[in-house]
Amino acid sequence: MTKSVLYGALVSLPLLLFSCGTGDGHDDRSDLFLRGKVKSVTENQFHAVVTPDGDIVKGAFFRTEGEWDFVERFNKDGMFTSISYLDRDGDTISKSIYAYDEKGKLASKSFYDPTLKRRTEYEYDTRGRVKLAYDFDEDGDLMLVTSTEYNDDNLIETSTTFNKQGKYLRQSIFQKNKKGFVTDYKFYNEERKLGNWRKEAHADDGKLLEMSVLNQDETVAFMVKCMYNKQGDLTLCEPVSEEDEYLSDRYVYEYDKKSNWRRRIHFKGDSAYSVTERVIEYY
């Protein structure tokens, strides 16, 4: 397992904490475990500062690779309408816009940075599953095509991406359980070599309980386990082996009247790492 592969798995860890099922109740808002008719969520992250009295307060704006302040907006059905990433002045630096068809399925997603850079359009099979995704550039020219195939019992999902000439670029294979939660994920790069391999265990509601990053010889390179509070929010993600270099992540929350968190303190190991404040607007 190379350092780059391991780093990629760790950076994407927050995105893996919840795995979407395939039930009729799926929507983006509930997948994020937001409670109530949430219209928008604005998150601002700051460096954590410990005062002489031991209190943890927010410091300067927090910026690191892959982490920005953002605003997520939802329609009344709980689906994303847009996600905006913000600079430290609160101005939008990039944005994704979501559009839906008459059946409520995602028809397209457009990415602006700050002007239109990419547009993805989706095509579905007779069972309502994504069959094809077409990526177009800012001029409307086709860039990529991703084809997704499913086995008969819907437990294996294979997505393969090609360039506009039809050349293979990459492939992802998802093994799922009967509730639609990912149990095994493999990513193959342009050379068709295994670039990332994860095994996951989820609770009945989809929360990630354990994740293992594997080497190509099936030995475990890294394993973490996760714990949650009564509100269902992540409180601890820690390595299973004491020999792992990865520091545990611990989270402490403050909540609003709808039991959605409005302030979160993130600890890495024993040290306060960041403070995130969240403003939630309801319908």
pLDDT for position 22: 39
Burial 141-167 (b: 16+ CB within 10 A, else e): eeebbbebebeeeeeebebbbeeeeee
Residue 151 · residue 131 · CB < 8 Å: no
Report CA dihedral (254, 256, 258, 260) to the nearest 10 degrees.
Answer: -40
Identity at 17, one-letter amino acid code: L
Mean pLDDT to the nearest integer, 96-122? 96
Half-sphere exposure of 196 (CA within 13 A, CB side): 23
pLDDT in tens, 33-49: 899 999 999 999 999 99
pLDDT, tens digit (0-9, with 9 covering 90-100), for 191-206: 999 999 999 999 998 8
Residues contacting 204, CB < 8 A, separation 6+? 179
Asked whether residue 6 carries a pLDDT value surpassing 70, the answer given is no
Residue 147: predicted pLDDT: 98
Q: Does residue 24 carry a pLDDT above 70?
A: no
Average pLDDT over the chain reads 89
Q: Do 26 and 20 form a contact (C-beta atoms < 8 A)?
A: yes
Nearest-angstrom CA–CA distance, 240 and 220 = 11
- The rounded distance, in Å, linking the Cα atoms of 225 and 8 is 17
